Amino acid sequence: MADKKKIGGIPAAILIFFIGIVVLWWNEGNNVKNIKAVAEARKNVTQVSSQMIDEAYEGKLIATNGKMDVLSDALTDDTFDVTIKTAKLVRVAEMYQWEEDENEDSDGDTTYSYSKTWSDRIINSKSFHNSEDYVNPENMPYENTEKLAEEVAVGAFRLTSQQIARLSTQETFTDLSDEVAQTRALRRDGNYYTTSEDLSKPEIGDIRVSFKYNNSTEVSLLGEQSGNTVIDYLTKSGKTFNVISDGRKTAEVMINEIESSNNMLKWILRFAGIFMLIIGIGGVLSPISKLTSYVPILGKVVGSAIGVFSFLLGLAIGLFVIAIAWIRFRPLLGIGLLVLVGALVFVIIKLRNKNAVENVTE
């Protein structure tokens, strides 16, 4: 039965392999677009004052920073009577639930483990391997909510609703009411409203509700000036810039942060793509390891060999895909690298032939 299950996993392994190739190919193309977009931003951006709107920069890429002021009324969560003057107020509703972890042992057999966690979404326990012993409630009495201020200013500029939505909410609301808790048949425990008798020892199905809000005093913006707002700036490579960041930052700092984030994404996807290739190859070859596992020593040797082979082949294919993608998206660099590799191979062959001739002559 185990063998059939493992063989049945070959299509999934093949799918993972081809997804890895797609990820690597897309990533290199996306990286080229990001490089071009950052270069264009550095060339075209202008640092402007937030204290006045200069019509000369209408439709241009600008960067600005300044003090942030909430001009509209305070935000209120009516359900829990939470009111605060802020640009963004978030309700975080969580339930204590079971979650399942799927693991594969050295023999290729799948095992399941279960742990308890706070989650702001329902974890469907009906899909668990062991759905009888580990059961989660099917509904949450409270939902996550997000409230945004209608008017927020940074000097003469006004933030769009999309920019306000992207503001951080790292500050916790602490002024909770025992009276509200009693009205909702809850209890207040620190900065939470909860159904739990003891939040340090919660039980499955317990609820806790907390509130986060934005307390930024200064922010920085990067994007296209449109009237008294900053909107998406579309680059020639198809990428957009519309940044809002806490604190006072210059255009150079914000663009450098974008570039750093792009580079991190590039390497994460490169590793992820190659990893999927390795997993896919290993999955296709795993039945061989399973069949030989009945002979202890042979099974370990074959299993190790397959692991090494899968790693090396996956790495080689991944690098090859990246190289071909470079030729497609960065022709000069890709062709240059191929010429360099070709030259090195030519030199190695020539040296080898020269040594061979000298040995024959001697």
Structural domain boundaries of the chain? Answer: 2-37+264-361, 46-248
Mean per-residue pLDDT of the chain: 88
Give tens-digit pLDDT for 22-65.
Answer: 999 999 999 999 999 999 999 999 999 999 999 999 999 999 99
Q: Which residue has the higher pLDDT, 292 or 271?
A: 271
The residue type found at 178 is: D
Q: What is the distance in angstroms between the CA of the first residue and the CA of the last residue of the chain? A: 64
Q: Strand pairing of 61-70 and 46-47?
A: parallel
> In terms of Cα–Cα distance, which of 42, 50, 49, 43 is closest to 68?
50
Check residue 66 and give left, alpha or beta (phi > 0: left; psi -120 to 50: alpha).
left
Instruction: Return d(Cα 122, Cα 138) in angstroms, integer.
Output: 7
Query: Which of the residue ranges 52-61, 100-109, 179-188, 315-324 would you say has the lowest mean pLDDT?
Result: 100-109
Give SS3 for 354: helix
Measured CA to CA, the distance from residue 164 to residue 66 in angstroms comes to: 15
More confident residue, 276 or 297: 276
Question: pLDDT at residue 248 above 90?
Answer: yes
* Residue 267 C-beta-side C-alpha neighbours within 13 Å: 5
- Among 21, 25, 38, 63, CA closest to 263: 38
Question: What pLDDT, on the 0 to 100 scale, is given for residue 4?
Answer: 43
What is the pTM assigned to this prediction? 0.78
Own/partner pairs for 235-242, CB < 8 Å, 24+ apart? 235/36, 235/37, 235/40, 235/41, 236/36, 236/40, 237/32, 237/33, 237/34, 237/36, 237/37, 237/40, 238/33, 238/37, 239/33, 239/34, 239/36, 239/37, 241/37, 241/41, 241/61, 242/162, 242/163
Q: Is 107 left (phi over 0), alpha (psi -120 to 50) or beta?
A: alpha
Question: If you average pLDDT over residues 132-159, what whole number do you get?
Answer: 96
